[in-house]
Structure 1
Amino acid sequence: MTSREFDPPMAGDIAPQPQYAGFMARGLAFGLDILLIHLLYFCCLCAAATALWAYSPHWLVLLSSIIFCLLLFLLSFPLFIAVYFMTLHGWQGQTLGKMFMGLRVVRADGGEVTPGLAFLRFIGYGLSILPLGIGFFWSILDREKCAWHDHIAATRVIMK
């Protein structure tokens, strides 16, 4: 046995603690995501309305087509949001808003977020927002700046 086995770890051997993202940085990233989602979806809706206008010269047909598009929009928008957040969190650990803000979602042990955890985290969003958004504000009080959905999915949001 060498004496090295019993030596305390050197300063370079200790992994640095991650810097957890605060409420404001997370809120700005989320706001950017919501803005991007709405802009993208609005562009899709305008493209659909333009296509309907081109093929529906009669006003009654056009009106019914617009009503159909609006209903489709209202029904598919929640699915669009779910796909956006679950895909980007499960793929890269960050949405476009988090990329812009320099944030990343990781597992509590520092590993990569899996698609299953991204799904669980998205379900947790609903639980965080239901009681007047208290689950999001919880990150202000939490030592690791975790919201309820972070605790549910065992994830953390860190500064890159």
Structure 2
Amino acid sequence: MQAGELTMSSRNDDLDLDMVYLFLSRETPWARDMPRATFERAVAGSLCFGGFVDGKQIAFARLVTDEATFAYLCDVFVLPAYRGRGYASTLMKHIFASPSLATLRRIVLVTTDAHHVYAPHGFTSLENPERYMELHRPDVYKVAG
């Protein structure tokens, strides 16, 4: 099956935020059960990209960034029916060519199994992982009983 051409938008008004929210909150381990209000705040405070084939959004990525020095790339996905066609790579190329991101000093991400997607775009393991710390709250999306 030939892949349709992927077009991009970083305008939140163009994004199918209902689809993105449903996919993230139901299908991903990192955002499962995220409240809709949390998702909306995250989108409002981020630079988001959508990938579209034949007018349908099939991919998404979000960057938390100051658009000057640093970005955290997160919530990246291509819908399962569209995987294996190079769309993730096309999305990454578009994102990193964006004028507000092309000159950032550092972009970081966390992935459990998609290293092969990011390595061709220059991502490597942390050079000094001992410098990085985190405050991880894995149960923050669970409703208190």
Q: Which has the higher helix share?
A: 1
Q: Same fold (TM over 0.5)?
A: no
Q: Which has the higher strand share?
A: 2
The structure whose Rg is larger is: 1
